[in-house]
Chains A and B, each alone.
Chain A
Amino acid sequence: MVRVRLSAALVACLLAVFASGCSSSRVKAASLKPDSERKAAPDFELKDANGHTVRLADYRGKVVLLDFWATWCGPCKVEIPWFKEFERQHKDKGFAVLGVAMDEEGWDVVKPFAQHFGINYRIVVGNDTVADLYGGLGALPTTYLIDHDGKIAATHVGLSPKGEFEDGIRQLLEARGGISSSPAVLVRTK
């Protein structure tokens, strides 16, 4: 009987996988840390493409996908359309993507790249100080999911399945008592 139940569970599980189109979008975000283990995301202050100052602390109250990337990073390019989609889907629900470009050449290369790829989320150009705050960033992409309290809930180094991001974002937005229709914090700019 137990064997039958297990088999039925297995079949149900397989059906669920196939029903999702065998895509990675149903991957469980097992990497989301429990609240008690989350540490504060180091704050930083960088400029966006318009010269406005952006502080990570300004995003407190939102779920943030913080993506360290570079124009020369192929795997980073794969994730950009996903992040555009997340921004579009969840920007009015207390969520934001913030991209930190780690190109040494700065805006000269980042601006045209961002325009070419139609990046719809905010981008800043990083520096050594910020890299050090985040452990040196030995590899890209390195992406953090930051909860409403400004704490790191998940870290992804390298190209990760889209579903892991999706599920993590969903869980973090739901953890705040549902998906609110307005951002919890306005972004301050100088």
Chain B
Amino acid sequence: MFAQSNAILTVAPPQKIVAKRGSAATAKLEVVLGAGYHINSNAPHEAYLIPLRLTWTPAPLEVAEVVYPKPHDEKYQFSEQPLSVYTGNFEIATKFKAPADAVMGPAIVLAKLRYQACNSTMCFPPKTVEVRLPVDVQ
């Protein structure tokens, strides 16, 4: 609904993971947020706020769990109560499971990271970043 603003948040290309059939593997996503900006955590205190959300299209793997980092509460000029936010650099881990019958070989697993950022006086439209995770199923 809006023009795309400058990169407030960047996601480093994730490193390839090796997943053996019938076992687990973890992928880590490094997120860098520009100075002075914050994004809502995955569990904001107020319902109207847009949470950080990492959504995978995991085939040929299965998602066991997405582990968000521990957020911190911060009070801003515009908020009566502290907000649950992320700032700076942080990491989101995803625990995958490779099914016993998973197709072997290289694959790309896709994800979308949706976030909504603000600074102390203004907010920026929600944005979605596409993530491509190289996977080697063995």
Contacts and interface: CB of A to CB of B under 8 A. Distances in A.
Contacts, number: 70
Interface in B1-43: 1-3, 5
Nearest to B50: A72
B42 to A, nearest CB: 15
Contacts of B3: 131-132, 135-138
A75 B50 contact: no
A74 to B, nearest CB: 5
Contacts of A140: 122-125
Interface residues of B, number: 20
Given A78-B78, A113-B48, A73 B123 contact: yes
Nearest to B40: A72
Interface residues of A, number: 28
Contacts of A138: 2-3, 5, 124-125
Contacts of B124: 138-140
Nearest to A68: B2
B1 A159 contact: no
Interface in A106-165: 109, 113, 126-128, 131-132, 135-141, 157-159
12 contacts: A70-B123, A73-B123, A75-B123, A77-B78, A78-B78, A126-B1, A127-B1, A131-B1, A137-B3, A138-B3, A139-B122, A159-B78
